[in-house]
Amino acid sequence: MLRSQFWKKFFEETGEIARFTGRLFSQWFKPPYEITEFLRQCFIIGYKSLPLVMLTTFIMGLVLTMQIRPFLIDYGVESQLPAMVGIAIVREIGPVITALIFAGKIGSSIGAELGSMKVTEQIDAMEVSGTNPFKYLVVTRVLAATFMLPLLVILGDAVALYGTYLGVNMSGVTSFDLFWTKVFRNLSFSDVLPAFVKSFFFGFAVGIVGCYKGYYSKKGTEGVGQSANSAVVLSSVLIFIIDLIAVQVTGVLGLN
Amino acid sequence: MHTTENKERPAQNAEQGKAVMAVRNLYKSFGSHKVLIDFSVSLHSGENVVVLGKSGSGKSVLIKCIIGLLKPDSGAIEVLGESIPDLNDEALDAIRMKIGFLFQSNALYDSMTVRENLEFPLRRHSITLMHEDVDQLVKDALEDVKLAHTIDMMPAELSGGMRKRIALARTLILKPAIILYDEPTTGLDPITSREIIDLIKEVQQKYHAASLIISHDMNCVRMVADRVVMLIDGRNYREGTYAELIQSEDPAIKAFFE
């Protein structure tokens, strides 16, 4: 009984999100274009996430290097450390970790903001003021999340690699030029492109889930909290599912 | 003591004005829960009509149907000669410019200053105005509610009463012909509540707008209403002046006035 209720709820919610996404695409290209609000959201979603992304990816690069080094020493291939960590960061860890941090910061903030606007009738007030709230609030945020995350991933990768460089030099000496030469010599177009492309999907997932959860928030402060929380949980799960699909697709396309 | 009571206002004076809004035989349900059942009400220019009902009786649903935020199941809603349920988005936007809506929760945009909150309807309703004109309209609206000094403040910095007045200023900025008030005094202390009631009356005198006020605050009803419509069990249970209704022996009506 409980299991059937779970699946019923699961499929209902999946259907609702699909419908919400369909509504988004139907409004995406329709004028009026909320350019000012889109740029404001790019600033909030992209620029304001930069310090957190920089800090966490820097630590990630440093720690990853320190953790991997002993194993490479055991196998006598310590010189491959920059190449190995570089590939791991660019192909997988950089996009996924940045997306998860992004989901935690932006997914929750969109869910809570729209949820609170819903509960306090601000969305209704917007509609009464001659504004299409879906376009003004949802389309701009989803677009901003979709386009800002790939930029954050690129910057995050660069900072993580700088962390790796410092990690490499903690127990040895590798020149700055040599480090970057080793990283880039082992990186190819097929490493960078799929990672870059999938980060657009990660950003879209975080944006759409945050907006959906906030837009249909239940009444009351508890509803707002639940919206923020479930936005983070669902978008984090979606990031892993998209990542799994991306690996399969790149394999089929011969980019692995 | 209550010098501003409207007991003495004859309802028929208001009735003589032109009808600006008419709701006829309105039905609205949510699932199996019937909220409005064959509900009818009219509003004439310059008139203050209060819809009185207990919490959860469908008052807010009624007002949201009138502004087009909810679609009724059946029935007619005519506002300024337009049938609201039949309007497309563009026409609805045009008619909404002539209707002010004061939300129960004020609905001020948290992320905007008071100035931006007031500018929002002006900029969004496709009205071509010079920057100076927008500025002047914002200042005038704030003067009307005696809060000109809050222009650059954020809503979070204001008290509940101030937020209500700012929301009223935003409602007034487009100089609406009809103002819909959703529980304007709910959650306010008696003094602030009285200030808001006085403000509603001042606004009425200044703009000559017709007002539909949703309330269960008897002070507000007594002081503002030209006509009271009792919304009980989703129906227009009784209609009359405050003076007429307070004398009713019907227990359902007496319960409100005791």
Write down the domain spans for chain A. 34-252
B12-64 pLDDT, tens digit per residue, is 444 447 889 999 999 999 988 999 999 999 999 889 999 998 888 889 899 99
Residues of B in contact with A44 (CB under 8 A): none
Most B CBs within 10 Å, among A30, A121, A134, A219, to test the B interface: A121
Q: Could you tell me if B227 and B192 are in contact, meaning their C-beta atoms sit under 8 angstroms apart?
A: no
B106 and A CB contact within 8 Å: yes
Shortest Cα–Cα distance, A121 to chain B (Å)? 5
pTM of the model: 0.85
Residue A79 pLDDT = 87
pLDDT value at B9 more than 50: no
Size of interface A-B (CB pairs under 8 A): 49
Q: Is residue B229 a contact partner of residue B214, using CB atoms and an 8 Å limit?
A: no
State what percent of residues in chain B have pLDDT above 90.
Answer: 55
**ipTM of the assembly?**
0.83
Whether A131 has its CB under 8 Å from any CB of chain B: the answer is yes
CA distance A122 to chain B (A): 5
CA quadruple B239, B10, B13, B223: dihedral positive or negative? Answer: negative
CA-based nearest residue to B48, from B252, B225, B206, B190: B225
- Which tokens sit at A25? 């695409």
Measure the CA–CA gap between A168 and A155, rounded to whole angstroms.
20
- Cα distance between the two ends of chain A: 44
Tens-place pLDDT, residues A196-239: 999 999 999 999 999 999 999 987 788 899 999 999 999 999 99
Average pLDDT over residues A148-171: 94
pLDDT of residue B189: 87
pLDDT in tens, A181-195: 999 998 988 899 999
Cβ of B103 within 8 Å of Cβ of A125? The answer is yes
Residues of chain A with C-beta less than 8 angstroms from the C-beta of B69: 124, 127-128
Q: What is the pLDDT of residue A115?
A: 94
| pLDDT at res. A192 | 92
pLDDT at residue B220 greater than cutoff 80: yes
What average pLDDT does this structure show over B175-202? 89
Give the phi and the psi of residue B181 in degrees, each rounded to 5.
Answer: -110, 120
Tens digit of pLDDT for each residue in A78-122? 889 999 999 999 999 999 999 999 999 999 999 999 999 999 999
Residue-level pLDDT at A171:
80
Give the residue on A whose Cα is nearest the Cα of B64: A124
**Structure confidence at residue B258 (pLDDT):** 77
Give residue for tokens 């999946």.
A14
CA separation for the pair A151, A40 (Å, rounded): 16
Using only the alpha carbons of chain B, give its radius of gyration: 18
The one-letter code for the residue type at A192 is V
Nearest to B121 among A117, A122, A130 (CB): A130
Interface contact flag, B107 A121, Cβ < 8 Å: yes
Q: Is residue A1 pLDDT above 70, yes or no?
A: no
CB-closest option in B101, B104, B107 to A122: B107
pLDDT of residue B82: 93
Q: What is the pLDDT of residue B78?
A: 95
Does the beta carbon of A181 lie under 8 angstroms from any beta carbon of chain B? no
Sign, Cα dihedral of A157, A163, A166, A168: negative
The average confidence (pLDDT) of chain A is 92
Q: What is the CA radius of gyration of chain A?
A: 21
Is residue B146 left, alpha or beta, with left meaning phi > 0 and alpha meaning psi from -120 to 50? left
Across the range A13-32, mean pLDDT stands at 90
How sure is the predictor about B131, in pLDDT bands with cuts at 50, 70 and 90?
confident
Query: Given this model, what pLDDT does residue B187 score?
Result: 82
Distance of CA B64 to the CA centre of its chain: 11
Q: Of how many residues is chain A composed? A: 256
